[in-house]
Amino acid sequence: MSRKDWTYEEALKIFPKVKQITEEFYYYVSELSRELEERILPENEQEEKEEEIKLSIQNWTKEILALEIDVKGVWLVDFDNGEGYYCWRLGEETILFEHNYEEGFAGRKLIKRNRQHGDNQ
């Protein structure tokens, strides 16, 4: 798969789709997880639900990767911008953070204000 360099504006444009896909898979996986925590299930049913969780996360990953967006963890995505990443994780209302290639998630910083308003540096 070819690598895409995202502008901040492009990332924001596709973001609602990314958020929707992620939330749908998250809620489904959360429901399965809740069932596993709240009920004692026969071993075969428990294994089936655990496998369904695993497959759901794999399917979420495939859908995000098909959009040319990097998956960096469960419910965590990065939009490669050619100098680093715009970073979003489930629970954040929009794409607010960026980090360079070396720092990763731990090095996330708020996106510079001029990028948020469409101006390139």
Whether residue 95 is contained in a domain is answered as yes
- Name the DSSP letter for residue 43: H
Closest C-alpha among 85, 89, 59, 63 to residue 76: 89
Whether residue 12 is contained in a domain is answered as yes
Whether residue 2 is contained in a domain is answered as no
Number of independent structural domains in the chain:
1
Q: Which residues of the chain have pLDDT under 70?
A: 1-2, 113-121
Domain that holds residue 69: 8-116
Q: pLDDT tens digits, residue range 48-83?
A: 999 999 999 999 999 999 999 999 999 999 999 999
Whether residue 26 is contained in a domain is answered as yes
> Which pLDDT score, from 0 to 100, does residue 80 have?
97
Whether residue 51 is contained in a domain is answered as yes
Query: By the 8 A CB rule, do 82 and 5 touch?
Result: yes
> Which pLDDT score, from 0 to 100, does residue 45 have?
92
Distance CA 62, CA 41 (A): 29
Whether residue 3 is contained in a domain is answered as no
Whether residue 1 is contained in a domain is answered as no
Whether residue 101 is contained in a domain is answered as yes
| Buried b / exposed e along 11-29 (16+ C-beta atoms within 10 A) | bbeebeebbebbeebbebb
Contacts of 28 (CB under 8 A, 6+ apart): 56
In this prediction the pTM is: 0.87
> Strand pairing of 97-100 and 76-80?
unpaired
